[in-house]
């Protein structure tokens, strides 16, 4: 699965404004549909107070954060699955990302055109879900046509495998016909593996992003609608004021940024919350390395073992893996220093089967 997040939604909901603030890169953002045609890609540093603290303690020459890749995808419209609004091109961009950040307009402003002429988050979400579901339905039908021809093969094992895949796709079809995401259907682990063979758009995890105006951060009826839909779908929703985030992105001084946040009643930027949510929903976690030259946050997948984590640093570390010297960030905070962590017996030697945990601080030993 690709480890990136596609920003999608209807035209004029604030996708490009949010993307610009995320990446501090000025992409086109205008008050008309299809301003974004080719996807913009941005590598966003992941804010991590743990890394900041490690930098204070070890005082290396530099610190290197983990990152999240965001892709700004042009707005979808009703009929996109049939090619409306360059829909086929945009759908292909969605197919290439690991998860979806679905931006929903949650503010009233007569000066900002809405593609449907009215503000209705439930309808807006339904349009996107329907178009993605119809695209998936087309993919499934093509796949079923191919499988129904292949099922005539003589190999009994291959035939059984094909029949299982057909059964899963037929289980998904009714939901897709109703415009519901495939992710809303309860699938067993084996069924999910079969479903993934069709590269379905609606199997991707979806994070809802409520874009509000300055007056709509609290007690926003539109936000409550989106949160309700997210909860029913087993997903999450974050609230962002695109205008505030754009202003905040232009402030480089940390104290001035803190003052700005305080003045608008926020503890942290909404984009930090978005980046962390995307990182988490992509199934990513962080371990740290420390040294004289740098403190660095490294990205792994949930469940990765020590040799795989070592390979993130360098392939030779994985090939020649011997063991890992591991302790946790929380233990460092509790005991105050590496020596104290060691004296307390919290520093461990772990082998090839150790599953790396979020917040581990690791020194790898290898030989090639």
Q: Is the pLDDT confidence value at 354 over 60?
A: yes
Phi-psi sector, 168: left (phi>0), alpha (psi -120 to 50), beta: alpha
Average pLDDT of the segment spanning 138-144: 93
Tokens 């936000």, located at residue: 223
Most confident of 24-33, 140-149, 254-263, 327-336: 327-336
Q: What is the mean pLDDT of residues 132-147?
A: 92
Question: What does the alpha-carbon distance between residue 155 and residue 280 come to, in Å, rounded to a whole number?
Answer: 42
User: What kind of fold does domain 4-281 have according to CATH?
Assistant: Rossmann fold (3.40.50)
Among the residue ranges 104-108, 149-153, 341-345, the one predicted with the least confidence is 149-153
Integer Cα distance of 93 and 162 in angstroms: 28
- What percent of the chain is modeled with pLDDT above 70? 90
The pLDDT tens digits of the residues spanning 178-202 come to 888 898 899 999 999 999 999 999 9
The domain limits of the chain are 4-281, 303-366
Span 96-106, average pLDDT: 93
Give per-residue pLDDT as tens, 149-177: 888 776 888 889 999 999 999 999 999 99
| pLDDT tens digits for range 260-292 | 988 888 888 888 999 999 999 999 999 999 989
**Domain 303-366 architecture:** Roll (3.10)
Q: Which two tokens stand for residue 304?
A: 């990765």
> Do the Cβ atoms of 134 and 176 come closer than 8 Å?
yes
- Helix axis angle, 121-150 to 221-232, nearest 10°: 20
The pLDDT-based confidence of 57 (bands split at 50, 70, 90) is very high
């Amino acid at each position: 699965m690709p480890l990136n997040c596609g920003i999608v939604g209807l035209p004029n909901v604030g996708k490009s404004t949010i993307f610009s603030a995320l990446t501090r890169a000025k992409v086109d953002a205008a008050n008309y549909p299809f301003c974004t045609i080719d996807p913009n890609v941005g590598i966003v540093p992941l804010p991590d107070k743990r890394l900041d603290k490690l930098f204070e303690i070890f005082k290396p020459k530099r610190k290197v954060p983990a990152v999240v890749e965001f892709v700004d995808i042009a707005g979808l419209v009703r009929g996109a699955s049939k090619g409306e609004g360059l829909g086929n091109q945009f759908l292909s961009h969605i197919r290439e990302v690991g998860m979806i950040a679905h931006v929903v307009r949650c503010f009233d402003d007569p000066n900002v055109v809405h593609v449907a002429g009215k503000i209705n988050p439930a309808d807006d979400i339904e349009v996107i879900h329907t178009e993605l579901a119809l695209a998936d339905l087309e993919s499934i039908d093509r796949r079923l046509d191919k499988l129904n021809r292949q099922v005539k093969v003589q190999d009994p094992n291959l035939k059984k495998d094909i029949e299982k895949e057909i059964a899963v796709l037929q289980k998904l079809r009714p939901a897709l016909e109703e415009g519901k995401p495939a992710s809303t259907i309860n699938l067993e682990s084996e069924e999910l593996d079969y479903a993934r063979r069709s590269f379905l758009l609606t199997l991707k995890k979806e994070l809802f992003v409520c874009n509000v105006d300055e007056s709509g951060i609290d007690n926003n009826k539109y936000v409550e609608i989106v949160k309700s839909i997210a909860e029913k779908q087993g997903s999450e929703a974050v609230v962002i004021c695109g205008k505030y985030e754009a202003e905040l992105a232009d402030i480089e001084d940390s104290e001035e940024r803190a003052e700005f946040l305080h003045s608008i009643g926020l503890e942290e930027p909404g984009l930090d919350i978005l980046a962390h949510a995307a990182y988490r929903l992509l199934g990513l976690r962080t371990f740290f390395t420390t040294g004289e030259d740098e403190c660095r946050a490294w990205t792994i997948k949930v469940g990765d073992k020590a040799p795989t984590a070592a390979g993130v640093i360098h392939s030779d570390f994985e090939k020649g893996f011997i063991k890992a010297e591991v302790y946790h960030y929380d233990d460092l905070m509790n005991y105050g220093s590496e020596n104290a962590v060691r004296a307390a017996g919290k520093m461990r030697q772990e082998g090839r089967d150790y599953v790396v945990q979020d917040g581990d601080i690791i020194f790898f030993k290898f030989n090639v």
